[in-house]
Every structure is written in structure tokens, then in C-alpha cells.
């Protein structure tokens, strides 16, 4: 076959990449990055850079650029420490090496300008975010005309890689998102979300799954797991070897789990109160009734932790205490530090959402996916542009990324309430400030043993923010709170199977005397001990301690009132976002 003209194809690529509408739909680039990052945001923020500092930055930049040009003229290959340019092809071609080095220098200069802006911390964070988005997008690795690896593959494959890359791009444009995994390799219920169980209850918000016991005897108190409603529950039940659900079952727990419904247009009126009252509180009631126990071990992951903690505070205001213990994984209750998500949270942005969604409607799952992808664009966007489109590779089969692409929407009223009262105003931590399901919420009323987990490299729930829950819960008996810090990020820190014995975690049991709540996160870490392997066994021991006596495992799911509806994982989790 005749090899296509690389320059012609490069021009086509550049035309596609420069189309702002394409960026919005299938590149999922954050809106802040679609305009001139400094000019537009500086104007909006009323920010500026001191002239003397600007001159210093310019002079420093010109000096480094001149030195780089001198090295290029002398035939010296610049050093490229960035992993995007680690392949030999970047160094073997002097022009490509110079192009990459000058790009890195330009990016360094732009970020220095962003850091030099005189603005409030929040404004500066937004500026840095927007500039970083553009810097990452303009990497020479993202364009066929300037990526020697991709060009080399075009030649070696006699144009086949380019043909495949265009086919991959067109297929993704049809989907409206970039493929991060071979989605044909997975199917919910076939090779992900496969732990045996039965749906024993459902309403318009969730299905309740009761998992089949794996041991002859179980702890009398069941474990109720509340996953986040902004993702599907099977992050906790991917495949047998990395399933937290399966692990909990194997440790002798009778596990119940909420599978949130992926909202459709009929649910556009649902509120935060509904998620608490008809969601978590209803799940607590049914779990207790089926198990015959007055109390359960309650569990929440991410937003699921915020939901279950709020539900327990509401029930406490009604005089009920349905939990014997509480587990919170990478959960925000105090929203003082919301990490990188803070760039999306201010009064104008929240008000805009309220104008469009507060009275009804759905927040599309694609919006949430775009937001989270923009937090790590090199890993979750441009890496796949380079591999799938420029090089014509097929994405590998990866269960976690398959789950990541299986997005969910949210009812507009629920989302707007959550955005304003937690992320923007941080009212949940203030006793009595919020009324939920007709009750004043006071998190300090939660007085049960609590296992709190944070991930050290979490960019969504900074570990110090997860630790802040220790100051809100059990104020009269802080020794009831146990904090564990895991290695890695928001997902990988949680999904760290015990059998693989990877990574590590930190504990600090000396930080649990009566004055523990006054101990800051940094002080806690300075006194902490690092342990090799997974934190899961620590959690299993915590559950066993509060699980009550061992009893014979139930012979069948449900009871006379709540009968089997269908096999796990149920229908709700299989519904794709609208």
C-alpha cells in the first residue's frame, strides 16, 4: 500500500485538535483551559504581576532559551527528564529533542507567571489550573507533526498505525469520550462485580444486595456498605483478587451493599434529603430487619461516607442509634480543604449550576467524567490521545479504567444542595447549621467506634481533610476514633488487596488518648509507624471487634418480608448514564 503523506495527515490532526468544540466533547478538556489562560482569568480576577518580577521572569526565561539554542547549534542533545519524552526517538532526532526541551521551558515560564500573579489563594489556584491545562494540551507529544515516536510507527507500519489511529479517534467521537480501556473485555456481572449475592430490596433510588456467606459462621452484626453515588459500586467489587466486598465476606461478615440507581429524567426532582431518608436510612432499616440485629457496622466510601454519616446524625436527632461502628474511607465531613476540586468551587460557579439544575434536571455523567479527567490530564487524556490516536494502539484491558468510564449522573437538586452546603459553605461540620430530612444535623452526636482511612496521595480527598473527621466525631471520647493512612491515591489506596502484600500504611495508636482531637495531621504523621502491605487486615480486625458474637451463617438471603428479587449485581448497576 502507498504510505500517506505525513505532512498532509499532520495538518488534518492539527485542524482537529484546534477545534474547540471537539475539545469539549471528546477530549474532555476543562472549560477553564479553552481560552487564553492568563489574559482571560487575570482580567476576571483583577490580578496582576509586579513589573519588576515580570522583568526578572522574562530575563531568566530568555537566558535559558539562549543557552538551549546554543546547545542545539553546538549539536548537544538537551536532557529530557519528563517521562512523556522518555522514548529514545526523542533523543535520536535533535530537532525533536530541542522541540521537547523548548516546550518544557515554555511551560516552566507560563507556570512561573501564574505563580507570580497577585491574587487571592483561590484565584491563584484557578489560574494555575487553567495554565497547566493549556501547557499539558500543547505538549509536542500530543501532535503527529511533532511526535517522533508516532512518526516512526507510521513508517514502520507503512501507514497502518495512522489508519488505526483515525479509526480509534472516530469511534471515540461517536462515544463522546476517550477510550481508556478495552471495554469489550469486561461486562458487569460476568467478570466484574461477580461476588455472589442477591438483591433483597429496591426502591427508585437504590437496590440492596445481600452477599452470600463464604464462612460457616458470621459475625452477628451485619456490615452495610454505602458506596459513592457519583460512581458505580463495583469499584469495591472489581474482580475476585481485588474485591473489598469479597474480602469482607471472607472475613466472616454478612455484607449488605447499596447499589445506587443511575438517574434518568424521571429522577430530576430528587433531593439530598431523599438520598438520606429514602436512601441510607432506608438501607439501615432493611438491613437491621433482615439480620434481626438492632445495630449494624456502617461503612461509607467517599461521598458514600458523607451520606452515611449524615444519615446517622439525622437518626441520632430522632433518638435512634442503629450503628455499632462506622467506617469512613477517603471521606470529607469537614470541607475546609477540598484539594484540586477547589478550582471548580466558588459562588459564581455554584450559582450557575443552581440556575440550571436546582429546580430539576440531571447533571450528566459526562460532566463529572470531564471534571475528574481534567484533574490529571496527562494520565487520563493525553496519554490516550498519544497511544490510541497517534500510534494506533488499542487500549489495554484494565478493570479499574473500565469502571472509571462507566459514569453516573446526579439529580440536579441533590447535586446543587451538596455543592453549596458542603464544598462551598462547609456547613456540615457546624452542629445544627443544616437541616436534613427534617432534623438538625450534628455530626458530634455520632458516638460510635470509628475507623477513618485516608490515602496519602489522594488529590480528591486530601488525607489531612480525611483526618479532620477525627475532630468532628466522638468529641467526648476521641479514643473511639482510629485513623489509618494508606499509600497511593483516592482509588489505589483503597483497593489494595491484602493477598498481594503491596504498598504500605501508617498508624499511630499513641495519638488516641483523651487529647487526640487536638493533634494535627502533621503531628499525627510525625509520630506514625509505617507498616508494609495492605491496611485491609487492620479493618477486618476492627469489624470483628464490633461484630458481636459469631452465629451460624444465614442459609438464604432476605426474610419472609424481603424476598430475593434477582441475583447480584442487579439491574441498577448495569444502566449506562444518559
DSSP line for 110-164: HHHHHHH-B--HHHHHHHHHHHHHHHHHT-GGGSGGG-HHHHHHHHHTTTHHHHH
Query: Which of 490, 480, 408 minimizes the C-alpha distance to 457?
Result: 490
Both 141 and 240 in one domain: the answer is no
Average pLDDT over residues 152-166: 95
> Which residue is associated with the grid cell 501532535?
143
Give the pLDDT score at 25.
35
On whether the pTM is more than 0.85, the answer is yes
The CA-based angle 32-37-39, given to 5 degrees, is 125
**Domain count along the chain:** 2
We report the CATH number of the domain holding residue 550 as: 3.40.50.1820
Percent of the chain with pLDDT over 90: 78
Both 76 and 156 in one domain: the answer is yes
Both 254 and 292 in one domain: the answer is yes
Whether 118 is in a domain gets the answer yes
The continuous run of DSSP H or E covering 97 comes out as helix 94-116
State the helix-helix crossing angle for 148-156 and 6-17, rounded to 10 degrees. 130
Max Cα distance, the chain (Å) = 84
Residues 170-203: tens digit of each pLDDT: 999 988 889 999 999 999 999 999 999 999 999 9
Average pLDDT over residues 316-321: 98
- Classify 283 as helix, strand or coil: helix
> How many CB atoms sit inside 10 A of residue 455's CB?
27
Average pLDDT over residues 429-449: 97
Give the pLDDT score at 8.
39
Give the pLDDT score at 26.
31
Both 484 and 521 in one domain: the answer is yes
Which among 178, 302, 428, 519 is annotated as catalytic?
302
* Residue 518: pLDDT band with limits 50, 70, 90: low
Both 433 and 380 in one domain: the answer is no
Domain limits for position 281: 197-339+419-574
> Which residue is associated with the grid cell 452546603?
421
Residues 255-270: tens digit of each pLDDT: 999 999 999 999 999 9
Which of 53-57, 139-143, 439-443, 549-553 bottoms out in mean pLDDT, i.e. has the lowest?
53-57
Q: Which three cell numbers stand for residue 250?
A: 471472607
From residue 259, alpha-carbon distances to 138, 291, 534 in Å are 40, 19, 26
Whether 105 is in a domain gets the answer yes
Both 498 and 551 in one domain: the answer is yes
Average pLDDT over residues 384-406: 94
Give the pLDDT score at 16.
38
Whether 322 is in a domain gets the answer yes
Both 22 and 76 in one domain: the answer is yes
Give the pLDDT score at 250.
98
Both 211 and 275 in one domain: the answer is yes
Count CA atoms within 13 Å of residue 69 on its CB side: 6
CB 439 within 8 A of CB 318: yes
Both 247 and 329 in one domain: the answer is yes
Give the pLDDT score at 426.
98
Which of 45-49, 109-113, 135-139, 394-398 bottoms out in mean pLDDT, i.e. has the lowest?
45-49
229 is an active site residue: no
Tell me the C-alpha distance between 466 and 481, whole Å. Answer: 12
CB 107 within 8 A of CB 135: yes
* Residue 126: pLDDT band with limits 50, 70, 90: confident
* Residue 357: pLDDT band with limits 50, 70, 90: very high
Whether 1 is in a domain gets the answer no
Both 149 and 256 in one domain: the answer is no
Which string of DSSP letters, residue by residue, matches 13-60? HHHHHT-HHHIIIII---GGGSS-HHHHHHHHHT-B--HHHHHHHHHH
Q: Which three cell numbers stand for residue 283?
A: 438501607
Q: Which three cell numbers stand for residue 65?
A: 532559551
Average pLDDT over residues 466-473: 96
Whether 371 is in a domain gets the answer no
Residues 14-48: tens digit of each pLDDT: 343 344 343 333 333 333 333 344 555 455 445 68
User: Does the pLDDT at position 368 exceed 80?
Assistant: yes
Both 103 and 217 in one domain: the answer is no
Whether 40 is in a domain gets the answer yes
Whether 187 is in a domain gets the answer no
> How many CB atoms sit inside 10 A of residue 54's CB?
13
Tell me the C-alpha distance between 358 and 409, whole Å. Answer: 14
* Residue 511: pLDDT band with limits 50, 70, 90: low
CB 207 within 8 A of CB 278: no
Both 394 and 434 in one domain: the answer is no
Whether 350 is in a domain gets the answer no
Tell me the C-alpha distance between 302 and 231, whole Å. Answer: 10
Amino acid at each position: 500500500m502507498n504510505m500517506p503523506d505525513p505532512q498532509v495527515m499532520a495538518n488534518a490532526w492539527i485542524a482537529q485538535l484546534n477545534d474547540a468544540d471537539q475539545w469539549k466533547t471528546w477530549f474532555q478538556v476543562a472549560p477553564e483551559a479553552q481560552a487564553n489562560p492568563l489574559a482571560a482569568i487575570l482580567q476576571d480576577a483583577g490580578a496582576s504581576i509586579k513589573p519588576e518580577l515580570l522583568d526578572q521572569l522574562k530575563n531568566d526565561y530568555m537566558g535559558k532559551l539562549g543557552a538551549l539554542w546554543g546547545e542545539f547549534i553546538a549539536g548537544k542533545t538537551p536532557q529530557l527528564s519528563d517521562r512523556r519524552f522518555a522514548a529514545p526517538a526523542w533523543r535520536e532526532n535533535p530537532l525533536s529533542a530541542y522541540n521537547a526541551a523548548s516546550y518544557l521551558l515554555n511551560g516552566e515560564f507560563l507556570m512561573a507567571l501564574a505563580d507570580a500573579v497577585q491574587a487571592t489563594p483561590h484565584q491563584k489556584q484557578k489560574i494555575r489550573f487553567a495554565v497547566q491545562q493549556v501547557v499539558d494540551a500543547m505538549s509536542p507529544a500530543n501532535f503527529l507533526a511533532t511526535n517522533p515516536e508516532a512518526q516512526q510507527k507510521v513508517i514502520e507500519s507503512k501507514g497502518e498505525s495512522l489508519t488505526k489511529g483515525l479509526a480509534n479517534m472516530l469511534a471515540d467521537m461517536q462515544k463522546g469520550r476517550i477510550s481508556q480501556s478495552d471495554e469489550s473485555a469486561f461486562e458487569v456481572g460476568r467478570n466484574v462485580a461477580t461476588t455472589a449475592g442477591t438483591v433483597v430490596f429496591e426502591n427508585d433510588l437504590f437496590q440492596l444486595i445481600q452477599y452470600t456467606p463464604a464462612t460457616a459462621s458470621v459475625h452477628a452484626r451485619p456490615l452495610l456498605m454505602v458506596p459513592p453515588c457519583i460512581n458505580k459500586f463495583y469499584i469495591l467489587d472489581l474482580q475476585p483478587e481485588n474485591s473489598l466486598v469479597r474480602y469482607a465476606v471472607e472475613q466472616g461478615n454478612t455484607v449488605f451493599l447499596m447499589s445506587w440507581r443511575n438517574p434518568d429524567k424521571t429522577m430530576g426532582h430528587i433531593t439530598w434529603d431523599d438520598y438520606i431518608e429514602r436512601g441510607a436510612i432506608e438501607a439501615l432499616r432493611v438491613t437491621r430487619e433482615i439480620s434481626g440485629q438492632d445495630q449494624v457496622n456502617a461503612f461509607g466510601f467517599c461521598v458514600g461516607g458523607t451520606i452515611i454519616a449524615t444519615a446517622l446524625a439525622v437518626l441520632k436527632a430522632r433518638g435512634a442509634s442503629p450503628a455499632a461502628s462506622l467506617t469512613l474511607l477517603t471521606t470529607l465531613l469537614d470541607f475546609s480543604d477540598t484539594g484540586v476540586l477547589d478550582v471548580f468551587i466558588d459562588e459564581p460557579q455554584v450559582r450557575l449550576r443552581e440556575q440550571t439544575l436546582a429546580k430539576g434536571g440531571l447533571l450528566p455523567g459526562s460532566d463529572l467524567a470531564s471534571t475528574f479527567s481534567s484533574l490529571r490530564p496527562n494520565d487520563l487524556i493525553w496519554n490516550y490521545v498519544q497511544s490510541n490516536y497517534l500510534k494506533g494502539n488499542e487500549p489495554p484491558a484494565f478493570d479499574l479504567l473500565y469502571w472509571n468510564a462507566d459514569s453516573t449522573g446526579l439529580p440536579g437538586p441533590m447535586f446543587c444542595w451538596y455543592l453549596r452546603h458542603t464544598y462551598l459553605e462547609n456547613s456540615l461540620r457546624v452542629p445544627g447549621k443544616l437541616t436534613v430530612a427534617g432534623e438538625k444535623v450534628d455530626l458530634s452526636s455520632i458516638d460510635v467506634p470509628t475507623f477513618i482511612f485516608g490515602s496519602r496521595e489522594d488529590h480528591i480527598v486530601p488525607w489531612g481533610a480525611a483526618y479532620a473527621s477525627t475532630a468532628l466525631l466522638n468529641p467526648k471520647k476521641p479514643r473511639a476514633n482510629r485513623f489509618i493512612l494508606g499509600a497511593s491515591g483516592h482509588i489505589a489506596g483503597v483497593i489494595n488487596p491484602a493477598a498481594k502484600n503491596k504498598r504500605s500504611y501508617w498508624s499511630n495508636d499513641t495519638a488516641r488518648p483523651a487529647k487526640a482531637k487536638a493533634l494535627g495531621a502533621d503531628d499525627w504523621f510525625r509520630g506514625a509507624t509505617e507498616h508494609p502491605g495492605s491496611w485491609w487486615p487492620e479493618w477486618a480486625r476492627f469489624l470483628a471487634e464490633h461484630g458481636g458474637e459469631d452465629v451460624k451463617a444465614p442459609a438464604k438471603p432476605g426474610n419472609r418480608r424481603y424476598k430475593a428479587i434477582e441475583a447480584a449485581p442487579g439491574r441498577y448497576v448495569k444502566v449506562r448514564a444518559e
